[in-house]
């Protein structure tokens, strides 16, 4: 007996809910309306060093680049809202809320595989593929088409009940499902809280983000030194940033998720920074390999840690920064030199001069010289 697309869709959504996806909606596989906006955004250079976006720009044109013959997409949302953010103590840094727990990719991929199996058990001839934020798919636009929410002024998908504290995933299939209506209403209204609160003025205008100024980009995606003009704006964010979500009115009354896998690991809310400078590559891998922080790699995370310690000078951190000043990685040495330039001269001047005498890389010599100038010689 053939199951109707309406019943199949209802049962598929029910199974998704049982697996822990609080949001679900279905839309047809079409060329996304936002494709031209995305192309203009890429051409304007707002993607920074995220070259994979440009390299795969044609693939974003239609979901068939992910699954040949695709007809429908089931868009899914899973909350990661857990504990409240703890106060940042001296010598620690904030991590974006989504990265407090284990790497979400592993859990969501596991559940997408179960959901794919459920669908294929119902329709054995079906072709199915599940993806979560690594495939060339404009997830937020398709989620809007599936009725999950609207794209806010901070460029994030916002749902009236779930706010924006959720991961997006998609299940693609060559079956025709029962489609939901698109979210046409923008409920941001006249609110500009997210735009006004951004520490680095990353929003060119409402709905347009210049990633090159975004703290999340600077601390995760950028593989070189953070521009000098943006270092103070990073504040105490060592990995990612939640400012534009923290101030959003739609995020003020969202229920916490029961999923323990997303709850903070010890030392992640916030993250102690001084001890990071004692980790070699192997130790770093052991500690962070199964977490989102692995994406920044050791050199990126220590660069960020040095900048945060430079933004909140504390006597106990100068020794760690001197270690960073002599680290094998250029990124770490440069950021540590800048940070030491914000410390008392009695603690920083001699280590900087000593490193300058042996430093061979010109860009690091420049960082050290500028730090010494700020210290008065």
pLDDT tens column, 115-163: 999 999 999 999 999 999 999 999 999 999 999 999 999 999 999 999 9
> Are residues 147 and 12 part of one domain?
yes
> Are residues 302 and 158 part of one domain?
no
In a domain? residue 111:
yes
In a domain? residue 156:
yes
Domain termination site, one of 123, 139, 173: 173
- Residue 43: Cβ within 10 Å count: 11
- Is there a contact between 27 and 146 (Cβ–Cβ < 8 Å)? yes
> Are residues 284 and 166 part of one domain?
no
- Is there a contact between 12 and 130 (Cβ–Cβ < 8 Å)? no
Q: What is the pLDDT of residues 223-237, one digit of tens each?
A: 999 999 999 999 999
Active site residues: 133
- Is there a contact between 214 and 202 (Cβ–Cβ < 8 Å)? yes
Domain count, the chain: 2
Mean pLDDT of the chain: 96
Does the N-terminal peptide bond of residue 270 adopt cis geometry, omega within 30 degrees of 0? yes
In a domain? residue 247:
no
> Are residues 32 and 157 part of one domain?
yes
Helix residue ranges per DSSP H, 34-124:
35-43, 51-55, 104-122
In the block, residue with structure tokens 């983000």: 209
Q: With the CA atoms of 24, 27, 30 and 36 taken in that order, what torsion angle do they form, in degrees rounded to the nearest 10?
A: -60
Domain termination site, one of 173, 191, 224: 173
> Are residues 290 and 166 part of one domain?
no
Q: Which domain holds residue 166?
A: 5-80+102-173
Residue 377 confidence class, pLDDT cut points 50, 70, 90: low
Domain termination site, one of 121, 140, 173: 173
Question: How many whole angstroms from its chain centre is CA 171?
Answer: 21
In a domain? residue 337:
yes
The angle that helices 330-340 and 318-325 make with each other, rounded to 10 degrees, is 140
pTM of the complete model beyond 0.75: yes
- Is there a contact between 67 and 119 (Cβ–Cβ < 8 Å)? no
> Are residues 166 and 40 part of one domain?
yes
| 173 vs 8: CA distance, rounded Å | 12
Task: Give the whole-number percent of the chain exceeding pLDDT 70.
Answer: 99
In a domain? residue 376:
yes
In a domain? residue 197:
no
């Amino acid at each position: 007996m053939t199951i109707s697309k309406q019943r199949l869709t209802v049962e598929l959504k029910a199974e998704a809910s049982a697996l822990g996806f609080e949001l679900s909606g279905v839309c047809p596989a079409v060329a996304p309306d936002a494709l031209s906006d995305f192309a203009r955004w890429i051409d304007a250079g707002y993607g920074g060093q995220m070259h994979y976006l440009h390299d795969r720009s044609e693939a974003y044109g239609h979901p068939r680049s992910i699954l040949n013959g695709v007809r429908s997409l089931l868009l899914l949302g899973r909350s990661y809202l857990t504990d409240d953010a703890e106060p940042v103590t001296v010598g620690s840094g904030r991590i974006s809320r989504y990265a407090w727990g284990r790497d979400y990719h592993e859990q969501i991929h596991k559940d997408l595989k179960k959901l794919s199996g459920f669908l294929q058990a119902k329709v054995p001839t079906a072709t199915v593929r599940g993806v979560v934020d690594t495939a060339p798919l404009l997830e937020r636009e398709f989620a809007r088409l599936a009725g999950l929410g609207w794209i806010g002024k901070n460029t994030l998908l916002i749902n009236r009940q779930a706010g924006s504290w959720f991961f997006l995933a998609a299940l693609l299939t060559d079956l025709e499902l029962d489609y939901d209506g698109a979210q046409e209403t923008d409920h941001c209204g006249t609110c500009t809280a997210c735009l006004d609160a951004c520490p680095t003025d990353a929003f060119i205008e409402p709905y347009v983000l210049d990633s090159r100024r975004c703290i999340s980009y600077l601390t995760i995606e950028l593989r070189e030194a953070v521009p000098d003009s943006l270092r103070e704006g990073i504040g105490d964010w060592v990995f990612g940033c939640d400012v534009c979500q923290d101030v959003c009115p739609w995020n003020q009354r969202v229920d916490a998720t029961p999923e323990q896998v997303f709850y903070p690991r010890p030392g992640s809310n916030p993250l102690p920074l001084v001890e990071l400078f004692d980790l070699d590559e192997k130790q770093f891998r052991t500690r962070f390999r199964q977490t989102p922080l692995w994406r920044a790699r050791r050199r990126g995370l220590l660069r960020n840690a040095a900048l945060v310690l430079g933004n909140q000078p504390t006597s106990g951190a100068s020794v760690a920064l001197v270690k960073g000043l002599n680290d094998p990685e250029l990124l770490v040495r440069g950021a540590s030199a800048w940070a030491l330039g914000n410390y008392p001269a009695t603690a920083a001047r001699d280590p900087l001069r000593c490193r300058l005498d042996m430093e061979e890389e010109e860009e690091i010599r420049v960082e050290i010289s500028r730090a010494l100038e700020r210290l008065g010689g």
